[in-house]
Amino acid sequence: MPNAQTTLLEIRGLAKSFPGVKALQGVDFTVRRGEVHALMGENGAGKSTLIKVLTGVYPRDSGTVRLDGAEINAASPKAAEALGISTVYQEVNLIPHLSVAENICLGRSITRFGLISWRAMARRAEAALARVDLKLDVNQPVSSCSIAIQQMIAIARALDVSGKLLILDEPTSSLDEKEVEELFTVIRKLRAEGLGIVIVTHFMDQVYAISDRITVLRDGQLVGEYETAKLPRTELVSKMIGKELSLVPTIPYDDGAAHARPEPLVELKNYGRAGSVTGMNLTIGKGEVVGLAGLLGSGRTETARLIFGIDKAQTGEMLLDGKPTQFGSPRQAIRAGFAFTPENRKVDGIIPRLSIRENIILALQARQGALKTLSRKEQEELAEKYIKLIGISTPGAEQLVVNLSGGNQQKVLLARWLATQPRLLILDEPTRGIDVGAKAEILKLVQSLREQGMSILFISSELEEVARDSQRVVVLRDRAKVGELSGKQVTEENIMHTIAGHAK
């Protein structure tokens, strides 16, 4: 390996904020020549921002970037390419109706005596493709190539433009197994040539198959840099989600037979949607809390949206009380007794400029339809009842929701749905961003609702909560169900192992 183990890229203290978000805070990142470096982190961790700041898509707020020891500050992707850094994004950014050769030479038309030389372009394109072991007719339009080939063309183009650091941001999302293997063969060859390669991917197996080192980001901050071979998968997951694995030994799996399943309320059979979640089986029993666990972006919210009729399933079916049911809209789901408190209460849920009373009656009013308006007295009684039941601290029902704490806003949202007396309550991150006391109260409420026979689908990033409060846990990874734990199997550690993708 030429120049192996010498530093190629050295980023120090990189910071970038967007209005209201610190996307990167003082991040260090080092890539060596002749290595594949995986950049890992949950959705929103800052991976794409780091790449975009490095490649001049966004200006940085502070920090230094050195390439080959010299300080650089690329003002645009084109400037970054000129310095030797090029990026291939998930959405292949080629121009479909132009030929393969034109795409590879895009922006650098090769001229002879002031005229475009098609033959020289074709030769250059063929040479570039040879580097990725690809031989094809460079005069055909890019649109006639498969996505996998297009990706290779994009890489060939990137290498042709500049050849020090190649960045691949989720390159494998739409490739099948064989295509991924072909891509990896090319990546290994480029690594042997001494290139630095940065790869962003959600697929654990791929990280372990291809990378030499791993840098983990979380909430815009550097968690650490590790040698892939020395970092067990479960530890990688625990670093990504920011939760240390307890050293308590796992309770051995039992066969689950001891746990008589309650009568099912909702059954999903191969229920899924392209671009959302892969068809999955999932049963929610009457009076059962089913936890939905997985990394951010694993498909938890998407599953909830399918069940609630916000997105429509394209495969499989849903049974409600044993009968095939397909909701055309959330309104139909509400009529059938479903309730959904969404993850982002500021955007999807609470209406800050309305009173507690007005916020609480919204869902019930929607279910009853415009013809049967709740009287003011009915509204007041409902509001009072739930303020008391859930313990919303407020001087009264007419208080504007904007004036409440986060925990109390969450409770108002919960009250809105409880007022509809749902059969299935879907809670998406009900405890995010609220204080410990309010958290405990909400979890207590979930248990008492379950005891009253309500079915609950409980989505939370806090694995501890999921493990403690669910009878069963369904684990998602890369937008597909990868496991299910029940009874004594439901431990934080088992959930983490399932997320990481290897059984104990």
Ligand X SMILES: Nc1ncnc2c1ncn2[C@@H]1O[C@H](COP(=O)(O)OP(=O)(O)O)[C@@H](O)[C@H]1O
Q: Which is nearer to ligand X, 41 or 483 (CB)?
A: 41
Measure Cα distances from 348 to 61, 203, 344, 364, 416 in Å: 31, 29, 6, 17, 13
CB 15, min distance to Mg ion, A? 18
Structure token pair of residue 317: 């079916």
CB 88, min distance to ligand X, A? 15
CB 202, min distance to ligand X, A? 10
Distance, CA of 447 to CA of 430 (rounded, Å): 14
Q: Which is nearer to Mg ion, 91 or 181 (CB)?
A: 91
Q: Which is nearer to ligand X, 74 or 449 (CB)?
A: 74
- Segment 20 to 59, residues that bind Mg ion, using CB under 5 A: 47-48
CB 347, min distance to ligand X, A? 12
Residue 278 near residue 257 (C-beta atoms within 8 A): no
CB 41, min distance to ligand X, A? 5
Distance, CA of 260 to CA of 65 (rounded, Å): 59
18 binds, among Mg ion, ligand X, none (CB under 5 to 8 A by kind): ligand X
Query: 173-204 b/e with 16+ CB inside 10 Å = b?
Result: eebeeebbebbbebbeebbeebbbbbbbbbbb
Q: Which residue from 481, 45, 41 is spatially nearest to 294, judged by alpha carbons?
A: 481
Q: Give the chain's count of helices (H) and strands (E).
A: 16, 22
CB 27, min distance to ligand X, A? 11
Q: Which is nearer to ligand X, 23 or 80 (CB)?
A: 23
The contact set with ligand X (CB under 6 A) reads 18, 21, 23, 41, 43-49
Q: Which is nearer to Mg ion, 23 or 414 (CB)?
A: 23
CB 53, min distance to Mg ion, A? 13
| Exposure of 500 in the CB half-sphere (CA atoms within 13 A) | 22
299 binds, among ligand X, Mg ion, none (CB under 5 to 8 A by kind): none
Q: Which residue from 225, 179, 230, 231 is spatially nearest to 198, judged by alpha carbons?
A: 225
Measure Cα distances from 497 to 158, 225, 305, 312, 488 in Å: 37, 21, 26, 31, 15
DSSP state of 250: P
CB 60, min distance to ligand X, A? 13
Q: Which is nearer to Mg ion, 90 or 315 (CB)?
A: 90
Q: Where are the alpha helices (DSSP H) in 75-229?
A: 77-83, 100-104, 118-131, 147-161, 177-192, 204-210
Measure Cα distances from 329 to 333, 385, 423 in Å: 7, 29, 17
Q: Which is nearer to Mg ion, 50 or 158 (CB)?
A: 50
Structure token pair of residue 12: 């120090």
49 binds, among Mg ion, ligand X, none (CB under 5 to 8 A by kind): ligand X
- Segment 406 to 465, residues that bind Mg ion, using CB under 5 A: none
Q: Which is nearer to ligand X, 76 or 393 (CB)?
A: 76
CB 111, min distance to ligand X, A? 37
246 binds, among ligand X, Mg ion, none (CB under 5 to 8 A by kind): none
Distance, CA of 389 to CA of 449 (rounded, Å): 11
- Segment 355 to 374, residues that bind Mg ion, using CB under 5 A: none
Residue 490 near residue 464 (C-beta atoms within 8 A): no
Query: 91-108 b/e with 16+ CB inside 10 Å = b?
Result: ebebeeeebbbbbbbeee
403 binds, among ligand X, Mg ion, none (CB under 5 to 8 A by kind): none
Q: Which is nearer to ligand X, 58 or 253 (CB)?
A: 58
Q: Which is nearer to Mg ion, 296 or 389 (CB)?
A: 296
238 binds, among ligand X, Mg ion, none (CB under 5 to 8 A by kind): none
Is residue 147 helix, strand or coil? Answer: helix
Q: How many residues sit in the footprint of Mg ion (CB under 5 A)?
A: 2
CB 405, min distance to Mg ion, A? 32
- What are the residues binding Mg ion (CB under 5 A)? 47-48
